[in-house]
Amino acid sequence: MQKISEVKQEAIHVSEIIAQNKQKKNVSNLVEKWIPTILFLLASITILTTLGILYTLLSQAIQFFRAVPIWEFFTGAVLKPLSQNPEFGILPLINGTLISTAIAMLVAGPIGLMSAIYLSEYASEKVRRVLKPLLEILAGIPTIVYGFFAFTFVTPLIRSIFPEVGATNILSPGLVMGVMIIPMIASLSEDAMTSVPNAMREGSLAMGATKLETTFKVVIPAAFSGIIASFVLGISRAIGETMIVTIASGSSKNFTFDITQSMQTMTAYIVEVAGGEAAAGTTIYYSLYAVAITLFVFTLLMNLFARYISRKFREEY
Amino acid sequence: MGVIANKMGLQVNPTAKESIAKKINTQKNNIVYDTKELNLWYGHTHALKNINLEIHEKEVTAIIGPSGCGKSTYIKTLNRMVELVPGVRTTGSISYKGNNILGKTMKVEDLRTKVGMVFQKPNPFPKSIYENIAYGPKIHGIRNKKLLDQIVERSLRGAYIWDELKDRLNENAFGLSGGQQQRLCIARALAIQPDVILMDEPTSALDPKSTLKIEELVQELKKDYSIIMVTHNMQQAARISDRTAFFLNGEVVEFDNTNKIFSNPSDKRTEDYISGRFG
């Protein structure tokens, strides 16, 4: 009782304090008013940068297409930029890019998805808490390290079993790129699967479905758009990956489907050309931009495709 | 599956009164579930204490009691969904048609095929209405499209929702109202023709109108199925159940005909609870 009366004596007039503070608030009102504009400007930096990049690429690529007809560029199967009679066909580069990406996804897709299934459906909370950060550390390793690993470890390993494989080949960087992408797919797919409400799993288990059936018939379909998104991000990453293929796949501009041979990807070509052999203003210099814009279009198409797929197969919950 | 450690052979002689009651009941109706000396722990929490309960075929058995009394835990033990909680331990036995479901030889998938469940919150799959119903039959190996069509229609009719949904079979189940979703979930459970349907507060997330529909449905369903329903709502238990078990602090305080429980309970605590003195 005594305590209550003490409190009453030194009563705090909260409403008065609030009223006083309200008067001071004029400055913060101004901030409140301008905040949307400031945030909008900050957000538009990304958009402006993208537009800037697009402008640079296009304006320089046009220079290239003045020298080499666009049709010849996109259908040419021979790429000999440094020869006496240079030929600029991009097909060998597209081929190299697609093959290395396919190898990488054959590794990263299944392993990444299975890891995600393990982490989200089977692993105990304890195991998950250790494994997930570990996976994400794997994702933080610089790609040059992976490139080195492919060149000095994986390639010799493959060659010790299959001696006919070249010292530089597309197989080894493809595999290592796959390993690099696993954490990305595993982590994003796991996020998508853990966010499927437990009530759905219970609904399936209560009908006599096994855990595996529940995982494949309820959880994965429900998380499908997230899983597809992770795959597409993986593919985009593989298409854009540069260092690993530059180091371990060499620079032969072979147009072949033989994965034991050296091939060049679009990114590796850009590295090679930008690496100094081409003087500014030459056709070979401008070809860099033509390849870059092709790369840009590829990634753009991938993202549009991802949106389409995930919208089409979306299971809303 | 190894979560449940089961101690068998703790048979205790039933008192004379109980055995007489049992005789009368078996004459009238067969027993689906016979729970004996069931104890259950979540870690160190003793959630169910020495439960003895007989559930009868083709009746509605209501389980009432205040929050945290173990009624949901008990119903989830009947199809062993309770094992999804890590660290659950049980002793005693629950015999389902003569087989101890807590025993090592019982496959949970087989048990759950025979014992359907409807949850507190409607939990349809994010699939079409058709696929929701066809899910169970498909899981259990039914592929024939014609047969599946028939099953879907029969199950939806069984849940009295066919007329509302027959033109919307390919729509996503999430577009339905809460009450429709819950009846869809009941239809989904019916699709694999279970013997028992467990309902864990099936109307607590629904409005009064939908609740009424579900209650009417339960009355129809008990002709073919044995229904065990946990409910917070005592009027609901009084309206639709044949027998009522009153749970308190993990124990069964009283289990009797619903009329008896609500008109002339033998235990003071039951009387206090149903007259609204606590809970």
Task: Annotate B113-144 with b (16+ C-beta within 10 A) or e (fewer).
Answer: bbbbbbbbbbbbbbbbbbbbbbbbbbbeeeee
**How high is the pLDDT of residue B10?**
37
Question: By CA distance, what is B120's nearest residue in A?
Answer: A199
Distance from A176 to chain B by nearest Cα, in Å? Answer: 37
Contact A208 B109 (CB under 8 A): yes
Kindly list the residues from chain B whose CB atom is less than 8 angstroms away from the CB atom of residue A203.
119, 123-125, 185, 188
CA A154 to chain centre: 23
- Is residue B30 a contact partner of residue B214, using CB atoms and an 8 Å limit? no
Please check whether residue B85 touches A, CB under 8 A.
no
For domain B58-79+108-274, the CATH superfamily is P-loop containing nucleotide triphosphate hydrolases (3.40.50.300)
Mean pLDDT of A86-90: 88
Distance from B12 to chain A by nearest Cα, in Å? Answer: 32
Kindly list the residues from chain B whose CB atom is less than 8 angstroms away from the CB atom of residue A204.
125, 135, 139
Contact B125 A205 (CB under 8 A): no
Sequence-distant contacts of A75-83: CB under 8 A, at least 24 apart = A77/A255, A78/A253, A78/A255, A79/A253, A79/A255, A79/A264, A79/A269, A80/A253, A81/A273, A81/A278, A81/A283, A81/A284, A81/A287, A82/A277, A82/A284
Task: State how far the Cα of A267 lies from the Cα of A274, in Å rounded to an integer.
Answer: 10
Among candidates B209, B193, B255, which has minimal Cα distance to B56?
A: B255
**How high is the pLDDT of residue A314?**
64
| Count of helix runs (H) and strand runs (E) in chain B | 11, 10
Q: Which sequence spans correspond to the domains of chain B?
A: 58-79+108-274
Q: How far, in Å, are A109, A119, A192, A234 from residue A132 at the CA level?
A: 17, 8, 14, 18
Task: State how far the Cα of A296 lies from the Cα of A199, in Å rounded to an integer.
Answer: 42
Among candidates B158, B160, B181, B186, which has minimal Cα distance to B171?
A: B181
Structural element, H or E, at residue A11: none
Distance from B213 to chain A by nearest Cα, in Å? Answer: 21
CB atoms within 10 A of CB B37: 17
Task: Name which of B85, B112, B186 to mutate to probe chain A: the one with the most chain A Cβ atoms within 10 A of its Cβ.
Answer: B112
Which residues of A touch chain B, with CB atoms under 8 Å apart? 124, 197, 199-200, 202-210, 213, 217-218, 221-222, 315-317
**How high is the pLDDT of residue B68?**
87
pLDDT digits (tens, 9 = 90+) for A102-155: 999 999 999 999 999 999 999 988 999 999 888 888 888 999 999 999 999 999
Task: State how far the Cα of A237 lies from the Cα of A73, in Å rounded to an integer.
Answer: 25
**How high is the pLDDT of residue A10?**
66
- Is residue A252 a contact partner of residue A264, using CB atoms and an 8 Å limit? yes
Q: How many beta-carbon pairs below 8 A join chains A and B?
A: 74
Q: What pLDDT band is residue B7 in, cutting at 50, 70 and 90?
A: very low
Interface of B with A in 161-190 (CB under 8 A): 172, 174, 185, 188-189
Mean pLDDT of A295-301: 90
Question: By CA distance, what is A313's nearest residue in B?
Answer: B127
Task: State how far the Cα of A60 lies from the Cα of A278, in Å rounded to an integer.
Answer: 14
Mean pLDDT of A216-230: 92
DSSP letter (8 states) at residue B15: P
**How high is the pLDDT of residue A185?**
94
- Is residue B36 a contact partner of residue B95, using CB atoms and an 8 Å limit? yes
| Beta strands B88-96; B99-100: pairing state | antiparallel
Q: What pLDDT band is residue B279 in, cutting at 50, 70 and 90?
A: low
Mean pLDDT of A83-108: 92
Distance from B185 to chain A by nearest Cα, in Å? Answer: 9
**Burial class of residue B193 in the structure, from the number of CB atoms within 10 Å of its CB (0-12 exposed, 13-18 middle, 19+ buried):** middle
**How high is the pLDDT of residue A130?**
92
Residues in chain B: 279
Task: State how far the Cα of B185 lies from the Cα of B202, in Å rounded to an integer.
Answer: 10
Please check whether residue B99 touches A, CB under 8 A.
no
DSSP per-residue string spanning B145-185: HHHHHHHHHHHHHHTT-HHHHTT-TTSBGGGS-HHHHHHHH
**How high is the pLDDT of residue A5?**
52
- Is residue A91 a contact partner of residue A77, using CB atoms and an 8 Å limit? yes
Statement: residue B1 has pLDDT above 60 = no
Nearest to A208 among B123, B126, B139 (CB): B139
Q: What pLDDT band is residue B2 in, cutting at 50, 70 and 90?
A: very low
pTM of the model: 0.81
pLDDT digits (tens, 9 = 90+) for B73-98: 999 999 999 999 888 999 999 999 88
pLDDT digits (tens, 9 = 90+) for B127-148: 999 999 999 999 999 999 999 9
Kindly list the residues from chain A whose CB atom is less than 8 angstroms away from the CB atom of residue B113.
207-208
Task: State how far the Cα of B101 lies from the Cα of B117, in Å rounded to an integer.
Answer: 16
CB atoms within 10 A of CB A215: 20
Question: By CA distance, what is B117's nearest residue in A?
Answer: A206
Nearest to B139 among A199, A209, A316 (CB): A209
Strands (E), chain A: 79-80, 87-88
Contact B125 A203 (CB under 8 A): yes
Please check whether residue B137 touches A, CB under 8 A.
no
Mean pLDDT rounded to a whole number for chain B: 87
